[in-house]
Structure 1
Amino acid sequence: MASASAQISLYLLLLTLFSKTHLTLSLRDLKPNPNGSSNSSQSIADVHDLLPQYGLPKGLLPNNVKSYSLTEDGSFEIFLESPCYVHFDQLVYYNKHIKGKLSYGEVSDVSGIQAKKLFIWVSVTGIHRDKGSDSVEFYVGALSEKLPAKQFEDIPDCKNKACHGIRSGSVESI
C-alpha cells in the first residue's frame, strides 16, 4: 500500500512540475508592446533578448544567467550561475537570485542587485527608461540616478571579485 501512495505522490509531483514548466515556457512566448497588449512571437530562451522587447537594454544583467521565469503579471525571477560583480560607472553586485516586476520600460520591486556608492552598498529597488531616452534611471528607495544607456548596450562579463581598478597591468580587488 505504501508503494502505491508513493507512486501517486511522485506522479502528482511530476505533474505539478510539468505544469509550472509549461506555464513558464508559454509565458516566454508573449511579446509585450508599449501599449500593454501582448502578441504571440517566437519563444525567448535568453532573458537578454527579452529585455529590449520591454524597452530596456540587454546589458542590465550579466552574462551568467542560468534561468529565468516570467509570470503574466510581470513578476520575474532570475537565477545566476553564481553571485557576481560588474563595473559600470559604479560597482554593481548581483546576487544569485534576482526578482522583481517587469513592465514596459520599467523594473520595480527589485531585489538581488546592489550598487556601491562611495563606501556603502545600496540596494537597487527599481529601474526606469523612458521611450527614446538616452539614459537609464536607477532607484535606491526614494533616490535615483541616471546613467547613459550606452553603458548597458553590451552584456557585461561577470566577475567573481569586486575589482576597483587596474594598476600596472594587474587588477586590484577591494
Structure 2
Amino acid sequence: MSLPSSSPPPSTLILFSFLVIPLVIASASALTASIQSFLLSHGLPGGLFPENVKSFTLDPNGLLEVFLDRPCLTKFESKVYFDSVVRANLTYGRLQGLEGLSQEELFLWLPIKDIIVYDPSSGLILFDIGIAHKQLSLSLFEDPPPCKPPSDSVVKAKKKEQMVSAGLESLR
C-alpha cells in the first residue's frame, strides 16, 4: 500500500506556472499603467516616475507617496535619483515639497523641491531645484524610464548630501 504523495503532479506545476507568471507580469504592468493614468488625470506627465513603482498612495490631505522596489538612478535630461519612497503634496499639475528625488547638476546632487506643469499646451515642465528653476520638454516624460541601481559613488554622494542637509536644518 502506498501513501498519497504530498507534492502535486508535474502537470499541475506546469499549468500553475503558465497561469501565475502571466498574472504577476500583468499586475506589474497594470501598476505602471495605473501610476501613469493617475498622474495624467492630475495634469502631470505619465512618465514622471520610473517603471519600478511598487505602489502609491494618496491621503485625503493630498500627500502622494510613491514606493519603488529600490532606490534607483535614471536620466531625463540629466541624472535623476529616486529614493525607495518619494513623497510630495499633489495638486493639479503640481508636486510640491518633494522628498526623495534629486537631480545631478554640475557634479552636485540637488534635491528637487517642486515639479510643475503650468500650461500643458506650452509643452514644458518646470523642475524647481531650490537655487534654480529648470524647464524641460514634457515629451521627456511620456513613458516611465528604466531605472538602475545607483553606483557606489552616487550612494556616497547622496549620504553626504543628507548629512549636509541635516546639519543645515539643525542650524535653523
TM over 0.5, shorter chain:
yes
Report the equivalent of 1:151: 140
Listed one character per residue, the Cα deviations across residues 21-69 of structure 1 (whole Å, up to 9, x for unaligned) are xxxxxxxxxxxxxxxxxxxxxxx98222100011110111000011111
For the residue of structure 1 that corresponds to 2:47, the secondary structure is helix
Q: Rg bigger for which structure?
A: 2
1:74 to 55, 62, 75: 62
TM-score normalized by structure 1? 0.65
Match of 1:112, SS state, is: strand
Q: Using the alignment, how far apart are the partners of 2:132 and 2:52 within structure 1?
A: 29
- 2:71–2:150: 8 Å Cα contact kept in structure 1? no
Residue of structure 1 equivalent to 2:83: 95
Which structure 2 segments of 5+ residues have no match? 1-31, 152-172
Deviation, structure 1 residue 141? 1.8
Deviation at 1:159, TM superposition (A): 1.1
1:109 is displaced (CA, Å) by 0.7
1:138 is aligned to 127
Unaligned runs of 5+ in 1: 1-43, 163-174
- Could you tell me how far apart the structure 1 residues matched to 2:147 and 2:131 are? 28
Aligned-residue offset at 1:95? 0.3
Classify the secondary structure of the residue corresponding to 1:59: coil
The sequence identity of aligned pairs, in percent, is 34
Counterpart AA for 1:139: D
Q: Which has the higher helix share?
A: 2
2:113 alignment partner in structure 1: 125
Structure having the larger proportion of residues in strand: 1
Tell me by how many angstroms 1:133 deviates: 2.2
In 1, the alpha carbon distance for the partners of 2:65 and 2:127 equals: 19
Count of residues in correspondence between the two structures: 119
Aligned-residue CA RMSD in angstroms?
A: 1.6
